Amino acid sequence: MLLLLLIVTYLLSASGLSSVASYLQIVLFFGVVLLVLRTAQVSGRVVTLIAVVTLIGSAGAIAAALTHTGAGIGAADIWKGLLLMFTAVLIVQRVLSKPTVTVQSIYGALSAYLIIGLMYAAYYAAIQHLGMADFFTHRQPANTQTFQYFSFTTLTTLGYGDFTAAGNPGRALAVIEALTGQIFLATLVARLVAVFRAAGNQDRPEARRRWPPPGAGSSSRISYHRKPPGSARKPSSRER
């Protein structure tokens, strides 16, 4: 459910409805936090407190974005990034706390990976709206679609080069995102998949042994026929 919601959020943000998606993102990210809190290993009071705080903050972020000012939209982007960062931490903590690795654990790690990409895209947008200069070089368009495109190409270290950060804050954040993506895939996801495969191999029943062995020929077979009583070897005169 969480992974499906994240995919829908990404596709909605990547569509042409950027003005509407900017507000819907806050609502969807709030829903993502609520879904993660349902499985979080915290008390009910803590869950209620976090839900109330995130609800108030999300309402304030929507109100700030409705001002249509650079400062208001930038503050909303920072709030979206904080929501996603908090969600990613909860998911990774939940995945690592499980004693066994299941399919849900792998889905949780993939969901955290998508959340990290969306989180950095929100921070890039905040830099654009709160800064004085353009985020991308050559006056390339800076909107929700291009920020997400730049974020995921950086997270996966594809590096097409068609979008490049112009200022030092954007470049520094892009380097941190590239390192985060490599460490996340090379350590957490790879380890989960390896442990999941090893557990699946151990659960398989052992193959039954066949007799004679498959490679044994007719010449290596042992005869178990009894010899007749009169065919026994008689002791010699020296053995008597």
Q: What is the pLDDT of residues 115-126, one digit of tens each?
A: 999 999 999 999
- Identify the pLDDT of residue 72: 93
User: What pTM does this model have?
Assistant: 0.77
Contact present, 155 and 84 (Cβ < 8 Å): no
3-state secondary structure 71-107: HHHHHHHHHHHHHHHHHHHHHHHHHHHCCCCCHHHHH
- Identify the pLDDT of residue 113: 92
Domain 2-201, architecture per CATH: Orthogonal Bundle (1.10)
- Identify the pLDDT of residue 60: 94
- Identify the pLDDT of residue 208: 44
- Identify the pLDDT of residue 98: 79
The domain spans of the chain are 2-201
Other beta carbons within 10 angstroms of residue 206's beta carbon come to 5
Name the burial class of residue 233, with classes exposed (0-12), middle (13-18) and buried (19+) by CB atoms within 10 angstroms of its CB.
Answer: exposed
- Identify the pLDDT of residue 207: 41
- Identify the pLDDT of residue 176: 96
List, for the chain, all residue ranges whose pLDDT scores fall below the cut of 70. Answer: 1, 15-21, 197-240
- Identify the pLDDT of residue 119: 95
